[in-house]
Each structure stands twice: as structure tokens, then as C-alpha cells.
Chain A
Amino acid sequence: SQELEQSPQSLIVQEGKNLTINCTSSKTLYGLYWYKQKYGEGLIFLMMLQKGGEEKSHEKITAKLDEKKQQSSLHITASQPSHAGIYLCGADGAGGTSYGKLTFGQGTILTVHP
């Protein structure tokens, strides 16, 4: 079965600093999702990457997919306290037969100090 490993597990940064969160898969990635979660709440969709080399940006958050390395990175530029939360990567490891099933990493807890 597919496993996703996120690094680091937790991150504390000062407001204004840049940061990167990585997600590495044990198997081929057919689709890679990034979500943000506030503790005890639902997941907020950030981005979905499907093609090797694909890069997407939304406001100050950029995600890239390196298909060959079976990994994705999430980069936040000039972090703000509103960026604080748990970042989760999810992967579709079965392509055309995934039928809604995503495997998730354990999450990265981000704290941003003002």
C-alpha cells in the first residue's frame, strides 16, 4: 500500500519568513493534493497536482510535483499568522481505479509567530 511521509513534522517560524514542507511517496503518484486543517476542523483544499513538473500557486503558497522523485513540496513565501495550521498531503496512488480514495501523510504542524 502507498505511504506518504511529510517533513518536517512540525515547524515554527517567525512571521515574514519563507518555509517549505515536503511530501514523499513510497509509490508512483497519480495525483497529489495539499490541504490545510485547523485543529479539529475540516480540510481546506489548497491545490491538486497531476503531472510531473507541475507547479501551482495560490496567493503566497506554491506547490510543485516531482514525479520522478515521487515527491511534492509546498512553499510559503513571507509567512503570516493566518498560515498557521496543519498541512496535509494526500495522494491518489491508483490512477484510474482510485475512486475517491486518498492516502494521507501524517501532517506538518505550522506555527507562525507574529
Chain B
Amino acid sequence: KAGVTQTPRYLIKTRGQQVTLSCSPISGHRSVSWYQQTPGQGLQFLFEYFSETQRNKGNFPGRFSGRQFSNSRSEMNVSTLELGDSALYLCASSTGPSGLSYEQYFGPGTRLTVT
């Protein structure tokens, strides 16, 4: 099976712009979670989608949003970019129909640099 794929792998944007990142989960996985990783804060949970519904959300401002499509692919959007949004954005997929613990598999990440 192919793993989790994320596009693009690298992105450079300017403050004030917006960006959309894409994540394709492992075939058959319906849950997609997004995380932000920075040297200072480590890995932080952004949100999780299952069957096109957001089921959980972390403590991030409303500039961070996401969605999931019927084929389970997910996108996250960051509007009005700030320098502090520079980070590695990771998505993870799992089968997880319920909230119970399921194995989560991560993609290679998208490195976003805001200048």
C-alpha cells in the first residue's frame, strides 16, 4: 500500500498571503489529522477529520482551517500568513471510525517558510 502523501513538500510564501496544503491518506483510511511542528513548540495537533466532518480541533487561531473530501483526501488552509507560521506541517491517517486509539501513520510533511 502506498503511504500518506503530502503536497507540496516545500513552500515559500510571503507574510499576508494564504496557503493550501494537501494530504492523501493511506487507501482505506478515513481519518486524517494535521499537526504543526516547530523547534520551539514541538508537535502540536491542529485538527482531525473523519468522513468529511471535523471531529476535533487544537488551540490554533481561525486562520487555520481544513476540510476533507469524499475520497478522504484532506486540505488545510492558512490565511494571512505570519512569520510564526513557518513550520513543518504533518498529516497522519488512520482507520479510526471511533475515537479509540488507532495506529496513526504520518506523511513526509510540507515545509512552509514564511518570509
Contact = CB atoms under 8 A, between A and B. Distances in A.
A19 interface: no
Contacts of B4: 42
A114 interface: no
A99 B45 CA distance: 11
Interface residues of B, number: 30
Contact of B107 (A42, A92, A99): A42
A8 to B, nearest CB: 16
Given A99-B48, A100-B56, A101-B58, A94 B99 contact: yes
Interface string A29-44: 0110101000011111
B43 interface: yes
Interface stretch (A67-75, A77-85, A103-111): A103-111
B81 interface: no
Among A42, A97, A103, the one with the most B-chain Cβ atoms within 10 Å of its Cβ is: A42
Q: Number of contact residues on A: which range applies?
A: 20 to 34
A76 interface: no
Contacts of B50: 99-100
Contacts of B94: 100
Q: 5 closest pairs, A vs B, by CB?
A: A31-B101, A100-B48, A100-B33, A99-B56, A43-B106
Interface of B: 4, 6, 31-33, 42-43, 45, 48, 50, 55-56, 58, 88, 90, 92, 94, 96, 98-101, 103-109, 111
Interface of A: 30-31, 33, 35, 40-45, 48, 50, 88, 90, 92, 94-107
14 contacts: A30-B101, A31-B101, A42-B4, A42-B6, A42-B90, A44-B106, A45-B104, A45-B106, A96-B98, A98-B56, A99-B31, A102-B33, A106-B42, A107-B42
